[in-house]
């Protein structure tokens, strides 16, 4: 089994509802705000999304 895919998945937030909900619960916000932060950041990288949410 490839280990590369696992690392890539941990570092990004996909469009899947369960991923958006997880990130929303983790950051104490809503899934819609997480989705907006992804669009605003122009990236699906977890660090960029979290930075936008904390502003």
Q: What are the 10-residue block averages of pLDDT along the chain, 55 residues in total?
A: 66 92 95 95 93 90
pLDDT value of position 35 = 95
CB 49 within 8 A of CB 41: yes
Question: What is residue 43's DSSP assignment?
Answer: S
- Count: domains in the chain: 1
pLDDT value of position 2 = 60
Q: Is 12 helix (H, G, I), strand (E, B) or coil?
A: strand
Q: Is 2 helix (H, G, I), strand (E, B) or coil?
A: coil
Helices (H), the chain: 4-10, 17-27, 31-41, 46-53
Query: 28's torsion region: left (phi>0), alpha (psi -120 to 50) or beta?
Result: left
pLDDT value of position 10 = 83
pLDDT value of position 55 = 80
- The model's pTM is 0.81
Domain that holds residue 20: 4-53
């Amino acid at each position: 089994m490839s280990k590369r895919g696992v690392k890539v998945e941990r570092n990004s937030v996909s469009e899947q509802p369960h991923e958006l909900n997880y990130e929303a619960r983790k950051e104490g916000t809503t899934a819609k705000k997480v989705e907006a932060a992804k669009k605003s950041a122009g990236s699906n990288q977890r660090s960029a999304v979290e930075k936008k949410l904390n502003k």
